[in-house]
Copies of this chain bind each other. A is one copy, B any other.
Amino acid sequence: MPLPQTEVPGRLQAHFAERGIRMTQQRRAILRVMETATKHLDAAQLLRKAQRLDASVDRSTVYRTLRLLKRHGLIDELDLMHINGEGHYYERKLGRDHIHMACLRCGKITEFVSDGFERLKQQVEKDCRFRVLISRLEIGGYCATCRGPQ
């Protein structure tokens, strides 16, 4: 999937500076991990990886930084249909929203960008007079492989 032009990869830190958010040792470590992550991370993995860059990073700092990123719309928080317990997963927000599909059998996560999703959000804006800021569509079911032939 090509990266959208509105967003340069690896530049969460630049966003912080632009918005006048204070940069700290710990945040630098956490952001670096998020920037270089290739998969959906949960908070515990993020903590472990960040601590390898800066051992002083605390659990609560990770959560606070995630909340901060969420509030600024720089990351998305996912349940992935609670495939593995209650935890959440986080991913950098790059351009367009996408749907997450979680296979209830093999646990694979698939992402899907759809114009229909964008139209649906516009319909909500219009029909419900509701200003849409965040949206999350998660689907649980069986992926092409697990649902077998046909």
Interface residues of A (CB under 8 A from B): 77, 79, 81-82, 99, 101, 103-104, 110, 112, 114, 116-117, 119-121, 123-124, 127-144, 147
Contact = CB atoms under 8 A, between A and B. Distances in A.
So how many copies of this chain end up in the complex? 2
B134 A81 contact: yes
Nearest to A120: B116
Contacts of A129: 143-144, 147
Given A77-B82, A129-B144, 8 more contacts: A99-B124, A114-B123, A120-B120, A120-B137, A132-B141, A135-B140, A136-B138, A136-B139
Contacts of A127: 112, 114
B128 A101 contact: yes
23 contacts: A77-B82, A79-B79, A81-B134, A99-B124, A103-B130, A104-B133, A112-B127, A114-B127, A116-B120, A128-B144, A130-B142, A130-B147, A131-B141, A131-B142, A131-B147, A132-B140, A133-B142, A134-B141, A135-B137, A135-B139, A135-B140, A136-B139, A137-B137
Most interface-central of A123, A130, A143, A144 (chain B CB within 10 A): A130
Contacts of A128: 101, 110, 112, 143-144
Contacts of A137: 120, 135-137
A138 B100 CA distance: 13
